[in-house]
Chains A and B, each alone.
Chain A
Amino acid sequence: MNKMDAALRELAGMDDLAALSSGIHRLHPAVKFLATILYIFTVASFSRYALSGLLPMVLWPVLLYQMSGIPVSLCFRKLRFVLPLVLAVGIWNPLLDRVPVLQIVTLTVTGGILSMCTLMLKGVLCLMASFLLMATTGIDRLCAALRAMHVPEYPVTLLLLTYRYISVMLREVSVMTDAYSLRAPGQRGIHFSAWGSFLGQLLLRSMDRAQSLYESMLLRGYRGGFHYAETRPIARKDWLFLGLSAASFAFFRLVPVAQILGGMFV
């Protein structure tokens, strides 16, 4: 199995995760979407030095991962290519901000190091929450939720079709990579001299494939509008989840829980 096949399987695996049936999966997709957006905004609103204040925000995604039966490690495994980018966001901060803000025994912590750690944690938390939303909802129900919230049809359809197109393209890359490697034994990856033609062929092939799919959609009555997954009305338990989530975000944002707990022991 080449890397593209593995990527394709991982992408397909997201649909499998979304098909699980936990209490979190059964929540209304719009509610999960709103809670996730609220969570991301709350995380982003912490100041760049508020590392200790941010720590309790870890609880929400970790708790939901437990309740949904999705291991946290799976999130990190699936997002292993994105995480380095997130971690790289604040990498220059220690060089730009050298003002000491904290002294731990003999170790001086500068503002740059603290803000770098805060930025990294913010990035990881936002990724964890976004992954959880996708893994417990699925793209179709997510799009249905967006439409139910009156997000215009055009961007929602674009989102859905782009998601579907990724798998079409990956499949083509997989076939082409196999065909290449079978005729280039001992070669690791694709030689740079073939990149141009490889990418050109990939574009043409994936466009052909996308055209076939589009024609198939047209022949089944597609006229630009999708009928998204049926969503039930928002129930009391959904409101309860949203209310509890929002309340906990507000609590952790306004009350310095980590400092209070720390003060109790120091």
Chain B
Amino acid sequence: MIEFANVSYAYEKDRPVLRDVSFTVQDGETVGLIGCNGAGKSTVMKLLLGLLPCTEGRITAAGLPVDKAHLPQVRERLGFVLQDPDAQMFMPTVYEDMLFGPLNYGMTREEADRRIDAALKQLRIEHLKGRHNHRLSGGEKRMAAIATILAMQPEILLMDEPTAALDPYNRREVIRTIGDLSGTKVITSHDLDMIYDTCERVILLHDGAVCADGPAEQVLHDRELLESHRLELPLRFSVS
């Protein structure tokens, strides 16, 4: 479970980017975090991961408070897939990149290998295991980046723009993959069609505050709500 309770945050004094944000994500839920540029989505993610210190309010993740004392345990339970796979993968091969997290958390190489094989199989990308990262296409990199996180078997999966810059085929592959993954997931994206396909609940952030929180079916059908917050209906609804 994830809980944000009255969280506010400012990078500069008197210029808050989050204002009294509160929401809860239950175990097993898949939640889409949407909002226009500058709405505060990335800040929410960074606070949740402990990359920014929570100075006001309270954040808990997987039953642990997100604070300095609990950071290693929190991060072991959370898996974060970055928007740019190149910013995530830094080892020469997919296999070595996947090995990085499990070994850091004290797993034996055999156990890590077992998890890596399972993650690759789950994503149907066993053929990428020995490939060099710099030789992968954009879609392959994205899948490999997801695999590096799945190898850690996190309790909660966080994804930042998982379908950004993908062609239609790879986009569908990523959507299928997200749908196949079990567990708690939080996805930030401007691709509202993808959010509709993968999330049962949507939280709309605007100007650092939660403006709507409800079923995807309801929030993503609300043209007035979306347009008043500089978003648009998912393509499938606007076309029909």
Contact residues of A with B, CB < 8 Å? Answer: 8, 12, 15-16, 19, 138-140, 164, 171, 209, 212-213, 215-223, 227, 229-230
Contacts and interface: CB of A to CB of B under 8 A. Distances in A.
24 contacts: A8-B134, A12-B135, A15-B92, A19-B132, A138-B92, A139-B92, A140-B91, A212-B82, A212-B84, A216-B87, A219-B49, A219-B80, A220-B100, A220-B101, A221-B101, A221-B104, A221-B105, A221-B152, A222-B100, A222-B104, A223-B104, A227-B99, A229-B96, A230-B109
A82 to B, nearest CB: 23
B64 to A, nearest CB: 15
A79 to B, nearest CB: 21
A218 B75 contact: yes
Contacts of A171: 86
Identify the 4 closest CB pairs spanning chains A and B, nearest first: A221-B104, A220-B101, A212-B87, A227-B103
Contacts of A140: 91-92, 96
A16 B132 contact: yes
Contacts of B76: 221
Interface of B: 49, 51, 72, 75-76, 78-80, 82, 84, 86-88, 90-93, 96, 99-101, 103-105, 109, 132, 134-135, 148-149, 152
A215 B84 CA distance: 13
Contacts, number: 65
Given A16-B132, A230-B109, A216 B88 contact: yes
Given A164-B90, A221-B72, A230-B109, A216 B96 contact: no
Contacts of B109: 230
Nearest to A12: B134
Contacts of B134: 8, 12, 15
Given A12-B135, A139-B92, A164-B90, 9 more contacts: A8-B134, A15-B93, A212-B84, A212-B87, A213-B88, A217-B100, A218-B51, A221-B72, A221-B101
A220 B87 contact: no
Contacts of B72: 221, 223
A110 B220 CA distance: 86
Contacts of A16: 132
A230 B87 CA distance: 25
B87 A209 contact: yes
Contacts of A138: 92
Contacts of A221: 72, 75-76, 101, 104-105, 152
A18 to B, nearest CB: 8
B92 A219 contact: no
A19 B91 CA distance: 14
B127 to A, nearest CB: 16
B119 to A, nearest CB: 13
Contacts of A223: 72, 104
Contact of B148 (A19, A212, A215, A220): A220
A211 to B, nearest CB: 9
Given A140-B92, A220-B152, A221-B101, A15 B132 contact: yes
B105 to A, nearest CB: 5
Contacts of B91: 140
A220 B78 CA distance: 9
A12 B90 CA distance: 12
Contacts of B96: 140, 229
Contacts of A220: 75, 100-101, 104, 148-149, 152
A151 B236 CA distance: 59
B207 to A, nearest CB: 25
Given A221-B105, A223-B104, A230-B109, A216 B82 contact: yes
